[in-house]
Structure 1
Amino acid sequence: MRSNRGAGPVSTGDEVHMKRDTKIRIFSLFIALAVVIPAVQAALTVDAGSNHTVLAGEPVTILAACSDTEIFDATNLSASVDWSTGRTEAEIVQDDEQNGTVRATHTYLAAGTYTVTVEVANNATGVVVCDTLNVTVAPQTANVKVAPKVLNQKSNGVMTVFVGIAEWLGFAGADRTNVTASDPTEFRIGNATPEKVNFCMKDGGTLILKYRRQDLDLAAGDGNLTVTGGAVTENGTVSVAGTGAVSVINPGNGKEAKFGNGDGHARAPLVKEKAKNQKEFPEEQQRSNGKANGRAP
């Protein structure tokens, strides 16, 4: 008789089938987990949308697309928007079984670029999703006119800038009776602020700002200057800006000397510009000249 002493255990047919069935069950379990796990994970998404550009003081509305591969249930969702200047709650409107829209509105008063974050949370599962966009806020446009339009860099005189505040009243929701200048002495041309400020109510209101020419850092050949400031509305101080045409000269250097007479003053062009501006702005100029000379306008 053949002896099995010293040899390993011999597997029977039942043991082989048992091991095979065990492997099949484990493999089937892995497949089942691979199918089931993604199904229980949240498929909530939000798309904040494209970037926006608005004027200061005007509302901007965000319409973010929200979707879910499961049945969209707005009652289990909540949304908020971080505007970079504060956070507000947002409305969620269900569009169909799997999609909805997150809606929120905000008003920026100061010019600049802001990052906006839209956040949606599923209160049942605890899943939170976010997306961002940028909002660029431009200042309200001010109507700016300069007198004289020829700026002599070697002159110690004063340049007058007329800023029409009526343009600030054009944005939506503004109260025309309550809009004023926040602080006219803070109106700037570069780093220069006006030495003197007058106000004329003609044509809805005009600020008369006087700057020392030596304070204006403009290069010869520049064709315009930009004035920035703020207007006070019922919502707060709104950024405003305007550009006025000006001719910057530096008499005594080559061909540019023809603008002056060699003593640092471009008299002929300035006299011509003064006469022209008195014709264009008779009331503002007379009021300004009267106050400058100590006389009542």
Structure 2
Amino acid sequence: MRSNRGAGPVSIGDELLMKRDTTIRIFSLFIALAVVVPAVQAALTVDAGGDRTVLAGEPVTILAACNDTDIFDAMNLSACVNWSTGRTEAEIVQDDEQNGTVRATHTYLAAGTYTVTVEVANNATGAVACDTLNVTVGPQTAEVKVAPKVLNQKSNGVMTVFISIADWLGFTGADSANTTVSDPSEFAIGNATPEKVNFCAKDGGTLILKYRRQDLDLAAGDGNLTVTGGAVTENGSVPVVGTGSVSVINPGNGNAAKFGSDDGHARAAMVKEKVKNQKEFREEQQKSNGKAKGQAP
């Protein structure tokens, strides 16, 4: 029989039993840790790319790179894009064993800056990855010419604006067959709208808009006039903007009584400028009407 362990020295057999118990405890701890600590899940990432700038009515295409540290299985992945104006499903194309490309296209009709979010989900593991970029949308641009180029702030005459629509009548994604000018009277300069609107078929089309100068609220020193309007495409109406250079002066109203003895040169300069403006106006009209001869309006 074994002697009492507490009453005497520990025997060799007792030491072996103690070491075996310790080994069993450590092994049990390893098993417990293996059960408690979960396996590391494969990482899924997506890169939406850099910010974009487009014009209203032009399609913007997102090509987002996605990566999975696990074997890339396009069958288990799904993607969508939130364009800020709506949400659409996106196509995923596998590039190699770990990488793929998310592709989606959208068209904005209104100018502004939009936050776009690309989301990719692994339906097998439940992993989800997101990334964002900004898309800045500007209005379509139109070439604008103003006649006369020098305006007297106190005059009550008519200013004519020539808008070439050829540049934006056939912008990307549309052509002259499915893009038309919205109501030309909506082309405004500030709060002023034209009193008269004509159309010339020269070089793809020119709008001739006549504004009353007193409606324009011009200030001496102004150098540019911004004309805003719109075009109707197959997708909807898009904004159009053009800028024309003009010099606004304030030499007086032209009455002799208003001029002193020292103002003779100023009055003569104003008369000379008026003649020059009339000449430029006639030349601009001749250019607009000359090539339109024999063409359908």
Tell whether the structures are fold-level matches, with TM greater than 0.5.
yes
Equivalent in the alignment of 2:205: 205
> Pairwise mapping of residues 167-206 of structure 1 onto structure 2 (< 5 A)?
167-206=167-206
Partner Cα separation in structure 2 for residue 199 and residue 259 of structure 1: 40
Q: Which among 263, 269, 272 is matched to residue 268 of structure 1?
A: 272
Query: 2:170, 2:179 within 8 Å by CA — same for their partners in 1?
Result: no
Shift in Å, 1:242: 1.3
Distance in 2, Cα, partners of 1:166 & 1:37:
63
Q: In the TM superposition, what is the alpha-carbon distance from 1:231 to its structure 2 partner? A: 1.0
| Mapped pair 1:72 → 2:58 | no
Q: Give the CA RMSD over aligned residues.
A: 3.0
TM-score by length of 1: 0.79
Larger radius of gyration, structure 1 or 2?
2
Mean Cα deviation higher: 167-176 or 71-80: 167-176
Sort the Cα spacing of 1:194 and 1:121 in 2 relative to 1 into closer, same or farther, 3 A.
same
Alpha-carbon distance change, 233 to 21 in structure 1, aligned in 2, over 3 angstroms: same
* Structure 1 gaps, min length 5: 6-11, 287-297
Match of 1:134 in 2: 134
Paired with 2:227 and 2:266, the residues of 1 have a C-alpha distance of: 27
TM-score calculated relative to the size of structure 2: 0.79
CA contact (8 A) 2:200 2:289 kept: no
CA contact (8 A) 2:169 2:180 kept: no
Instruction: Say if 1:29 and 1:258 are closer, same or farther in 2 by CA, change over 3 A.
Output: farther
Which residue identity is paired with 2:58? E
Q: 1: CA distance between counterparts of 2:43 and 2:117?
A: 19
Which whole-Å deviations, capped at 9, do the CAs of 1:190-222 have from their partners, x for residues lacking one? 333223322222322221222232332444323
Task: Give yes or no for the alignment of 1:26 onto 2:16.
Answer: no
Equivalent in 277, 284, 287 of residue 281 of structure 2? 277
CA distance in 1, matches of 2:144, 2:237: 19
CA contact (8 A) 1:150 1:269 kept: yes
Deviation sequence 1:242-292 (CA, Å, 0-9, x none): 11111111225xxxx889649xx9543233112112112227589xxxxxx
Distance 2:18 2:215 in 1: 99
Contact kept in structure 2, 1:66 and 1:99, CA below 8 Å = yes
Letter in 2 for 1:92: I
Of 265-274 and 94-103, more deviation after overlay is shown by 265-274
Measured in 2, the distance between the counterparts of 1:230 and 1:194 equals 14
Q: Check 1:64–1:258 CA distance in 2 against 1; reply closer, same or farther (3 A cut).
A: farther
Could you tell me how far 1:21 is from its partner in structure 2?
Answer: 4.4
In the alignment, is the contact (CA less than 8 A) between 2:202 and 2:289 conserved in 1? Answer: no
Kept in 2, the 8 Å contact 1:278–1:285? The answer is no
1:117 Cα deviation (Å)?
Answer: 0.9
1:46 equivalent to 2:80? Answer: no
Name the CA distance, whole Å, in 2 between partners of 1:60 and 1:215: 39
8 Å Cα contact 2:92/2:100 also seen in 1: yes
Once the two structures are TM-superposed, the CA of residue 84 in structure 1 deviates from its matched residue by 1.6
1:163 aligned counterpart, secondary structure: strand
Change in CA separation of 1:237 and 1:24 when aligned onto 2, cut-off 3 Å: same
Identity %: 71
Once the two structures are superposed, the pairs formed by residues 97-136 of structure 1 within 5 Å of their partners are 97-136=97-136
